[in-house]
Amino acid sequence: MLDWPEQIETLTVFFAGHGGVKAGTFYLLPRDASSRLLSATALSASELLSIIAEAAPLQTNLIVDACQAGGVSGDIRALLRPEDLGAKNTPGVTVLAMAARDQSAMEVDDAGIGTFAFLNCIEGKTFVSDNRPTLDLLEIGTRVAEVLAAAGEQSPVLWGLNLFGPRRFCRNPSFGGGGGPLRATLGDWLDSDTQVAVEAAMSDLWRIWDRLDNAEWSPREVIDGLGRVLATLPTGNSRAQLLERLNAAGKLKADSSLDRLRTLDVTASIIVAALRHAGEAAVAASIKSLATEAANEAERVVAEATIAVCADRYALLTRAGGIPDLFLLPLRLTRLLGWAAMVYHIRSENDEVADCDLLRRYINAILEQLPSSVVAISDAQAAPLVCALSAAFQGGATAEAEMLLGTLFNSAIRYKGLFASPSIDPKEILRFLIARQTGVADQVRPSLARPTELLTILLRGAALFGLEDAFDPWLIQFDGTDLNAFLPAAYEEFGDDTIRGGVNAGYRIGTDIFTVSELEAVWQSAPTPIKGEGLIAVFAALLLPDRTPWFLMPKQLPYSAKSVL
């Protein structure tokens, strides 16, 4: 380095290992270093920086991931003399130390968490910026510090001294690529207030977009993240435009996911994020347009699944197969059932003669090809089942709905009403399946849905389709079972993680009710959504397994086939 024939423009030194501070100096420790003889067995930062100073690069980047790495700040004087600071052509220095001088540097999987955070930034896994083709170490370090501070593990130290001119540290992976930069997809905005608000939210929007094809993605990421951004925009028109633009960008990203439902889930999540703004005319129009797109995508997905399962009854199994599918396949079938019904609900809003042929064909296919997997197994099935039963009733698929209800109710009897909680720990699924088979549930009580909404839906479905005589004789099998229905006070918060207003309507079989008709007689109806909120609430229920759109099955004798969306 000292013999390099030309001026060194940028020098980057990265050290990950052991380190420590002694007598005011930071030391980089090799494997055989002695803590008592650091000056003789380790490399001091001041010595390293003195060598760098002799080479005189225009810009030095020093990244240290080691215990007490913040102590290197005290050695910077070896590189920069105070009297030279700010003078023309004096070198610039950027230092990123992953831990404060009095902190240890944590590790995971044999590497420092600071190194992981740093690599995630330069590889594009963590968003830093998208407005320039390159990143500098200061902005990377700032993002690394945010990530580590949020984790609560350690506090990086970031220094930038005597900086001038371009500080290109690495290529910016978020500038271009991946179907085009998100900034270009979002485009320019006509009013300056919206432009400023979107620019301020760009890092949040990028993080939302960048995760859409991730295997661990959750609808909650879009619902919460986009919801916060929408609240910062100045007008309903700007919110409507952002919904449509982000959906267009999201489809490009979600289409690359291995999850066939991902594109549909992303559009639905964007719709749910706008729930609090559903009363704004421009937002309502955009939601209507996005809902139509969602219906078209749902139709494609369910039609593909129907054809696939008719051709091969094992088509909907996971690639790994095995015992997990005993639990996951029934949930997958019910989830598709809910989306098949949603196609009808969306289209019937604008077309009084809309049919539910898709739902009818799907129900027939799974009952014929996978009857042993059409089982009542988890309260996560509650929302899609309500959606399906109401669509079948309104759309005239009575025979199919009755067969479906009978099959699910028979499985509930066979397994003594043992249903999993929507939030069951995946590690407990095998124990739950064994408990269902043996009927001994004491060891898995935390994993059970008690009280249950799923059995509540089956019994209310029996009332809806006039199956009381077939169901009533078997209610003795569920003696003492607590039924439940959470009824929100309103639907503005129906997409939130926690719905604050509402009541749990509970009924015990064998105490409060003894027959299906008695449950219907005492049923406490859910409030009717404000215009525009109902459709979004159903999207939320299909995405989030812990809420049920009971307003789709109101207490009404005789039950009306008119949509309540």
Query: How many Å apart are CA 158 and CA 70, to the nearest integer?
Result: 9
Query: How many Å apart are CA 388 and CA 393, to the nearest integer?
Result: 9
pTM: 0.74
385-399 pLDDT, tens digit each: 999 999 999 999 999
Identity of the residue numbered 427: K
Q: What is the DSSP letter of 106?
A: P
Query: How many Å apart are CA 129 and CA 225, to the nearest integer?
Result: 17
Query: How many Å apart are CA 462 and CA 314, to the nearest integer?
Result: 30
Query: How many Å apart are CA 240 and CA 222, to the nearest integer?
Result: 16
Q: Please, what's the b/e burial string for 78-110 (b: 16 or more CB within 10 A of its CB; e: otherwise)?
A: bbbeeeeeeeeebbbbbbbbbbbbebebbeeee
72-120 pLDDT, tens digit each: 887 877 766 665 566 666 677 888 999 998 888 888 777 789 998 999 8
Does residue 218 sit in helix, strand or coil?
coil
Percent of the chain whose predicted confidence (pLDDT) is above 70: 91
Q: For residue 353, what pLDDT is reported?
A: 74
Query: How many Å apart are CA 516 and CA 461, to the nearest integer?
Result: 9
257-310 pLDDT, tens digit each: 889 999 999 999 999 999 999 999 999 999 999 999 999 999 999 999 999 999
Give pLDDT tens digits along the chain (565 positions): 666 667 888 889 999 999 998 888 899 898 888 888 888 888 888 888 888 888 878 888 899 999 998 888 878 777 666 655 666 666 778 889 999 988 888 887 777 899 989 998 888 778 887 767 788 888 899 989 888 887 777 888 888 776 555 567 888 877 654 445 576 677 778 889 998 998 888 888 888 988 898 889 999 999 999 999 999 999 999 999 999 999 998 988 898 888 999 999 999 999 999 999 999 999 999 999 999 999 999 999 999 999 999 999 999 987 776 788 899 999 999 999 999 999 999 999 887 778 899 999 999 999 999 999 999 999 999 999 999 999 999 999 999 999 999 999 999 999 999 999 999 999 999 999 999 999 888 889 999 999 999 999 999 999 999 999 999 999 999 999 999 999 999 999 999 999 998 999 999 999 999 999 999 999 988 889 988 899 999 999 999 988 999 999 987 555 555 555 6
